[in-house]
Amino acid sequence: MNYQDRISIEPGKRGGKPCIRGMRITVYDVLEYLASGMSEQDIIDDFPDLTQEDIRACLAFAADRERKLISAIGP
């Protein structure tokens, strides 16, 4: 999944947090919803502008950020 096509960071939007397709919905928001037990369909029902691909892009973004963090710490 190439999340870079869906996730953007704009300094003037939501305090520079990563957002989905330029909307005001952040990656953090989606991850919080998933962590609280919402399904992908629940999130899409609440935010009809989102797609399954958007939600998966959030997961890919988080996984990549985690990988970079672990790489920076080293073995």
20, 57 Cβ separation under 8 angstroms: yes
Which of the 8 DSSP states describes residue 43? H
Residues in a beta bridge with 7:
20
Quote the percentage of the chain above a pLDDT of 70: 96
Asked if the 3-66 domain carries CATH number 1.10.10.10, the reply is yes
Q: Say what the pLDDT of residue 74 is.
A: 66
Burial 26-58 (b: 16+ CB within 10 A, else e): bbebbeebbeeebebeebbeebeebeeebbebb
**What's the predicted TM-score (pTM) here?**
0.86
The mean pLDDT of the chain is 92
pLDDT for the residue numbered 60: 96
Nearest residue to 34 (alpha-carbon basis) of 14, 61, 13: 61
Is the predicted pLDDT of residue 72 greater than 80, yes or no?
A: no
